[in-house]
Structures are given as structure tokens and as C-alpha cells.
């Protein structure tokens, strides 16, 4: 399998989560070996996607530098990860990605509209050679060597709707679309009220998140999956792993992980070449992984 980009430029306008203002997102193809490059059109600022570009993980994954930032990239990047896109220019005219419906489903539709195109040059992936883990108390994120690419996430919230729930999935474009992409982000009403009081989360609504009070889901339509919360955490994890610029052949697992821990995991992973190797997909013996992008 060769490297991938999109066939045609495509764009969409959506609301930014924090400013509550319209954000235009445009995707353009890039040539082989160019990687994923974000571009702030309003600042004429390019931000290549690498773990070193991450500047904040408190409420979302944020990349940038002293000249400007782009927030909430993880939902979009999960779709890029699932579709196996290697080279792409991501243009926004503000400091955040549009939140869309709080999941990755709209970004999947956008990539479908653009079409996926193979390029010259073999697709390269990161193959995990040694187990690596980042912990914060009982919370952890971990990557283990495996001939299969899998994601296994468990969360435990003291809330009657969430509680302890898990989701396991084998990586692939089709499983992502069917099992993960529609899972929405979630937030508690009391937290949203505070954030809006300090001019954050101004675009948050029940149209782009699962809202929760102390004992129930506030969205009239309810949940899309019984364990939608755990599924969304896998969505976030895929997006955060895409910050490495590559798909990963290995087993990801987590208990109560976060953007912060995911970022620390990617930094720790790439800090030591004993942890991984970059190989062409052609060299991978796992047929299941090679076929997962179909």
C-alpha cells in the first residue's frame, strides 16, 4: 500500500467549541512525504503535526507556537488516522477546528467527499517494539507490541449514566466508521456553565456534545451507543496517536486516560528508538493490519 492523500480539495463551515464563532475548514492534498500540515489562514501560519507542536492538553489537544495555536484537533485527526491519510493540508481561519456534532462522523463524510488517493512511495507506519506506559496514579495509557492494531479503553465515572464502561476495537476504516466515529464528546452542565462564565465553551450545546446533569443525559435523543462515552475515548486516543504523523501497529490500552497522558505517551514513545521502528506497510507481516485501510 502506498501513501495516501485526498483527491480533491473540500471545505466545510462549522461552529468553534470555545469561541462559538463560525470556522471554515478546508482540506487540500499534499505530495508524498509532506505529512499532515495545519495552516492558520488568518495568521499565514503553518504548523506541521508532531508531538513537539502540542502546546496544551487540558481540555483538548492544541498545537501551535508563540505565533498562534489551533485547538481541538483530535476528533478530526481520528478520522484522518482511520482513513490512513499520510499527506494533507488542513486550513482553518481561526484558532480551533469546528466541533461539528462532537464526534468524527462529519469529518468522515468530508473525507468521503474529497476521496482518498494513493501516491507514489510506500506508506510508512510505526511498529511498536517495546512496551511503554505512562501513569498518573491509577490512570494509565500504554502501547504494547502486537501483530494487530487494537484499542482497549476503560473509564470509571461516579455518575449513574456512565459508571465503569469499556470498549475494545480492532483498528480499521470500516470498524471505525461503524463503531467509533459517531461517539460524541460529553460534558457536565455545571462545568459548561463555569466555562462559559469565563468565555470558554461558548459554542457548546446539545447539538455537539452529550450533556449531563447530576443523574441523567440531557439530550432529548439520548445516547447513540450504550457505552458511547468509552467509545469516544477511543476516538480521542486515535486522534492523539495521529499526532505522531503515522498509523501505529501495536496494542493501545488505557484506564481513565486523557489527552495529557496520550501526549506524554507519544513523546515517550518517540524519545527512544528502542521503543519503535518506522517501516513500510509492505514490510508488515500482519495481513489484517494491511487490509484494515480498505
Question: Which 3-state string (H, E, C) describes 227-269?
Answer: CHHHHHHHHHHHHHHHHHCCCEECEEEEECCCHHHHHHHHHHH
Q: Count how many Cα atoms sit within 13 Å of the Cα of residue 282 in the half-sphere of its side chain.
A: 6
Within 10 A of 69 (CB to CB), how many other CB atoms are there?
A: 21
| CB 97, CB 23: distance < 8 Å | yes
Q: Classify residue 137 by burial, with Cβ atoms within 10 Å: 0-12, 13-18, 19+.
A: exposed
Which 8-state DSSP code applies to residue 179? I
Catalytic residue numbers read 259
Kindly give, in sequence order, each residue whose CB lies less than 8 Å from that of residue 146, ignoring residues fewer than 6 positions away: 128, 249, 250, 251
Closest CA relative to residue 102, chosen from 195, 4, 237, 236: 236
CA angle 60, 109, 141 (to 5 degrees): 35
Amino acid at each position: 500500500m502506498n501513501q495516501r492523500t485526498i483527491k480533491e480539495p473540500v471545505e466545510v463551515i462549522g461552529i468553534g467549541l470555545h469561541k462559538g464563532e463560525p470556522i471554515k475548514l478546508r482540506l487540500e492534498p499534499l505530495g508524498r512525504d509532506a505529512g499532515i500540515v495545519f495552516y492558520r489562514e488568518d495568521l499565514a501560519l503553518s504548523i506541521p503535526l508532531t508531538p513537539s507542536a502540542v502546546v496544551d492538553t487540558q481540555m483538548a489537544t492544541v498545537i501551535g507556537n508563540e505565533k498562534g495555536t489551533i485547538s481541538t484537533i483530535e476528533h478530526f485527526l481520528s478520522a484522518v488516522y482511520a482513513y490512513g491519510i499520510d499527506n494533507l493540508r488542513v486550513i482553518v481561519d481561526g484558532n480551533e477546528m469546528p466541533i461539528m456534532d462532537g464526534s468524527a462522523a462529519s469529518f468522515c463524510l468530508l473525507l468521503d467527499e474529497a476521496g482518498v488517493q494513493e501516491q507514489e512511495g510506500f506508506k510508512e507506519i510505526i511498529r511498536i517494539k517495546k512496551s511503554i506506559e505512562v501513569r498518573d496514579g491509577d490512570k494509565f495509557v500504554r502501547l504494547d507490541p502486537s501483530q494487530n492494531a487494537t484499542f482497549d479503553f476503560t473509564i470509571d465515572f461516579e455518575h449513574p449514566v456512565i459508571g465503569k464502561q469499556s470498549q475494545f476495537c480492532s483498528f480499521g476504516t470500516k470498524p471505525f466508521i461503524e463503531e467509533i466515529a459517531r461517539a460524541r464528546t460529553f460534558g457536565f452542565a455545571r462545568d459548561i456553565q463555569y466555562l462559559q462564565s469565563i468565555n470558554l465553551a461558548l459554542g457548546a450545546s446539545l447539538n455537539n456534545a452529550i450533556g449531563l446533569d447530576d443523574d441523567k443525559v440531557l439530550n432529548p435523543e439520548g445516547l447513540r451507543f450504550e457505552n458511547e462515552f468509552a467509545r469516544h475515548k477511543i476516538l480521542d486516543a486515535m486522534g492523539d496517536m495521529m499526532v505522531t504523523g503515522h498509523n501505529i501497529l501495536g496494542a493501545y490500552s488505557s484506564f481513565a486516560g486523557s489527552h495529557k497522558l496520550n501526549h506524554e505517551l507519544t513523546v515517550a514513545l518517540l524519545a527512544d528508538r528502542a521503543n519503535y521502528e518506522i517501516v513500510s506497510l509492505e514490510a508488515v507481516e500482519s495481513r489484517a493490519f494491511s487490509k484494515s485501510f480498505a
